[in-house]
């Protein structure tokens, strides 16, 4: 969605900058809605309907964009999946959490199935010990529990997003003297 | 045999690239708020303009949208050099600039992990990586305090500042560097940051 945002920004910047430039030129004494513009609109019967049509298209495009943007934001949190898939996912999620917690150094796992029917996403939050062998946990997760979850749901191409959190113990004051000096 | 090996290598490289692409797509800022704001601006501006222009086309002589009569009156009677008009123009340009800045790709939310599964994307927070580096530095005997910085927009490398109570640090700096690098190997981020160790020791 960055291209429409950039296009909107460029259009607004162009309009604002043009208006500022006009205020510094010889036209600075004229009002923005100059009588010449009103006369031109009155003399050209096509002008107002054409401008109204363009504005209508712009408004419709904006509404469509608003719906798409809103859907994206909402489906990040709540999945747009049928109740049967959701029930299956709940059962499979319990197994996934249980098996993922059995991996070494994994302390806590939370999973959520999000997205739409066409673009479902499995989002996992995994808390590991601070010195965990994260690369191995990551590989094991993908090859074992997540793969089984995909198979249970019948979604072999389900994308899984894993957010790792490292839990470190509270830092303790280290003693100053016991270590001998190095050479 | 050799052909199969080459095919496997090509396949693995392709999977790795797809995994990288998925991670970048998933962890790039979505700019949801900017997108909603821009969509609202376009919808409102287009809608109001369409209603007003259609009313003008039909020669109705009224302004269906409340407040538009006053706006049209102001646009007809205030020149471009008017302070109000200039302020409105500056505000419009400012909004445009903000939207343009919001449209920049932005940096990823966290540090993606390396992997060869194109259906899996993992991430760890930058702060967690810094903390892990500091934790690894503390495992070196003689290191008393440590703090890791960096991985930001300007300072991309991982700077680990350590303090020892030794008067002669000898090869402590290399030991810390090795410990931090080993910890990064355990985490295996997609792009390994350069590690810069700065050691302070007793001078008295």
Residue A126: what pLDDT?
94
Q: How many whole angstroms separate alpha carbon A1 and alpha carbon A10?
A: 15
Chain B residue with Cα closest to A38: B76
- Rounded to whole angstroms, the Cα distance separating B27 from B19 reads 12
Pull the structure tokens for residue B200. Answer: 């302070």
> What residue of A is the nearest CA neighbor of B145?
A174
Instruction: Give the full edge-to-edge strand order of the sheet including A159-167.
Output: A106-115, A120-129, A159-167, B120-124, B111-112
Does A47 share its domain with A6? yes
Q: Is residue B112 part of a domain?
A: no
Q: Note whether B173 and B136 are within 8 A (CB).
A: no
| Token pair 């712009």: residue | A58
Q: Across chain A, what does the average pLDDT equal?
A: 86
Considering the domain architecture, whether residues A160 and A142 belong to the same structural domain is answered as yes
Listed in sequence order, the residues at least 6 apart from B96 whose beta carbon sits closer than 8 Å to its beta carbon are: A8, A9, A10, A11, A12, A13, A14, A15, A16
Nearest to B79 among A30, A65, A132 (CB): A30
- Token pair for residue A179? 């270590």
Is the minimum CB–CB distance between B72 and chain A shorter than 8 Å? yes
> What is the per-residue DSSP string for B6-36?
HHHHHHHHHHHHHHHHHHHHHHS---HHHHH
Work out the pLDDT band at A171, boundaries 50, 70, 90: low
Within a domain: residue B90?
Answer: yes
Whether B146 and B85 share a structural domain: no
Q: Mean pLDDT score of chain B, rounded to an integer?
A: 89
pLDDT at B4: 77
Contact A134 B187 (CB under 8 A): yes
Shared-domain flag, residues B51 and B84: yes
Nearest to A58 among B42, B75, B172 (CB): B42
Asked if residue A181 belongs to a domain, the reply is no
Q: What share of chain B is helix, strand, coil (3-state, %, to 5)?
A: 55, 15, 30
- By CB atoms closer than 10 A (0-12, 13-18, 19+), residue B11 is exposed
Q: Answer yes or no: are the C-beta atoms of B122 and B113 closer than 8 Å.
A: yes
The answer to whether residue B166 neighbours chain A at the CB level (below 8 Å) is yes
B31–A1: do the CB atoms touch at under 8 Å?
yes
Task: Name the domain count of chain B.
Answer: 2
Q: CB B85 to CB A14 under 8 A?
A: no
Going A121 to A122 to A126 to A131, the CA torsion angle's sign is negative
The answer to whether the Cβ–Cβ distance between A8 and B38 falls below 8 Å is: yes
**Residue A160 in this model has a pLDDT that exceeds 90:** yes
For residue B146 the two structure tokens come to 């440590």
The total number of structural domains in chain A stands at: 2
Residues of chain B found within 8 Å of residue A166, distances taken between Cβ atoms? 124, 128, 131-132
CATH number of the domain enclosing A128: 3.30.70.1350
Looking at the predicted structure, is the pLDDT value of residue A180 above 60? no
Residues A151 and A129 placed together within one structural domain of the fold: yes
Same domain, A93 and A148: yes
**Pairwise CB contact (< 8 Å): B165 & A176:** yes
> Are the Cβ atoms of B115 and A133 closer than 8 angstroms?
no
Q: Do A52 and B89 touch (CB under 8 A)?
A: no
Contact A179 B141 (CB under 8 A): yes
By Cβ distance, the residue of B77, B86, B144 closest to A20 is B86
Q: B30: which chain A residues are within 8 Å (Cβ-Cβ)? A: 1, 72, 76
- Look at the block and give the residue holding tokens 């509404």: A63
Over range A30-56, report the average pLDDT.
Answer: 89
Which of A4, A23, A30, A167 would you mutate first to test chain B, the one with the most B CBs within 10 A? Answer: A23
Q: Are residues B97 and B142 in the same domain?
A: no
Domain span at residue A136 reads 83-167
Is residue B144 domain-shared with residue B93, that is, in the same domain?
Answer: no
Q: Which domain holds residue B56?
A: 32-102
Summarize the confidence of residues A44-67 as an average pLDDT: 93
For chain A, how long is the longest CA-to-CA vector? 96
Cα within 13 Å of Cα(A158), Cβ side: 28
Quickly state the pLDDT bin for A83 (edges 50, 70, 90). confident
Interface test with B, best of A35, A53, A59 (most B CBs within 10 A): A59
Q: Is there a contact between B198 and B161 (Cβ–Cβ < 8 Å)? A: yes
Contacts of B119 (CB under 8 A, 6+ apart): A142, A150, A157, A158, A159, A160, B22
Q: A25 in a domain, yes or no?
A: yes
Strands B120-124 and A159-167: parallel
The partner residue sitting opposite A52, judged by closest CB among B32, B41, B54, is: B54
Contact B132 A163 (CB under 8 A): no
Give contacts of B144 with chain A, Cβ < 8 Å: 174, 176
**What is the pTM (predicted TM-score) of this model?**
0.77
| Residues B145 and B188 both lie in one domain | yes
Q: How far apart are CA A146 and CA A124, in angstroms?
A: 10
Q: Please, how many CA atoms are within 13 Å of residue A56, restricted to the half-sphere of its CB? A: 11
Among candidate residues B70, B102, B134, the one where a domain is terminated = B102
For residues A87, A89, A94, A99, the Cα torsion angle rounded to the nearest 10 degrees is: 160
pLDDT tens sequence across A91-145: 899 999 999 999 988 999 999 888 887 888 899 999 998 888 998 999 999 888 9
pLDDT above 80: residue A173: no
For residue A112, is it within any domain? Answer: yes
CA of A83 to nearest chain B CA: how many angstroms apart? Answer: 24
Residue A66, in any domain of the structure: yes
């Amino acid at each position: 969605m960055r291209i429409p945002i950039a296009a909107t920004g460029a259009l607004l910047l162009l309009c604002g900058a043009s208006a500022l430039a006009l205020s510094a030129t010889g036209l600075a004494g004229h009002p923005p809605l100059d009588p010449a513009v009103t006369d031109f609109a009155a003399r050209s019967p096509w002008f107002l309907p054409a401008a109204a049509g363009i504005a209508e298209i712009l408004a419709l495009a904006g509404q469509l964009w608003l719906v798409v943007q809103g859907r994206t934001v909402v489906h990040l949190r709540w999945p747009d999946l049928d109740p049967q898939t959701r029930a299956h996912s709940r059962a499979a999620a319990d197994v996934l959490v249980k098996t993922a917690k059995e991996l070494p150094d994994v302390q806590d796992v939370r999973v959520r199935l999000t997205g739409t029917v066409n673009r479902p996403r499995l989002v996992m939050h995994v808390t590991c010990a601070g010195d965990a062998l994260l690369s191995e946990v990551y590989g094991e997760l993908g090859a074992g529990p997540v793969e089984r979850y995909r198979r249970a749901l019948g979604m072999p191409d389900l994308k899984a997003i894993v957010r790792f959190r490292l839990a470190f113990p509270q830092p303790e004051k280290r003693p100053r003297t016991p270590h001998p000096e190095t050479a | 045999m050799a052909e199969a090996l080459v095919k496997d290598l090509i396949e693995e490289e392709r999977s790795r690239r797809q995994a990288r692409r998925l991670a970048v797509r998933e962890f790039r800022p979505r700019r949801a708020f900017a997108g909603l704001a821009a969509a609202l601006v376009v919808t409102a501006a287009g809608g109001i303009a369409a209603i007003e222009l259609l009313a003008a086309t039909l020669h109705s002589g009224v302004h269906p949208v409340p407040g538009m009569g006053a706006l049209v009156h102001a646009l007809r009677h205030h020149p471009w050099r008017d302070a109000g008009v200039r302020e409105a123009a500056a505000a419009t340009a400012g909004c445009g600039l903000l939207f343009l800045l919001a449209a920049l790709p932005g940096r990823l939310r966290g540090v993606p992990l390396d992997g060869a599964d194109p259906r899996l994307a993992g991430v760890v927070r930058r702060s967690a990586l810094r903390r892990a580096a500091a934790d690894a530095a503390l495992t070196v005997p003689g290191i008393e305090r440590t703090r890791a910085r960096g991985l930001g927009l300007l300072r991309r490398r991982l700077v680990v500042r350590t303090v020892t109570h030794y008067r002669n640090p000898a090869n402590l700096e290399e030991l810390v560097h090795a410990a931090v690098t080993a910890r990064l190997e355990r985490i295996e981020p997609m792009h390994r940051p350069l590690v810069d160790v700065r050691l302070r020791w007793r001078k008295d």
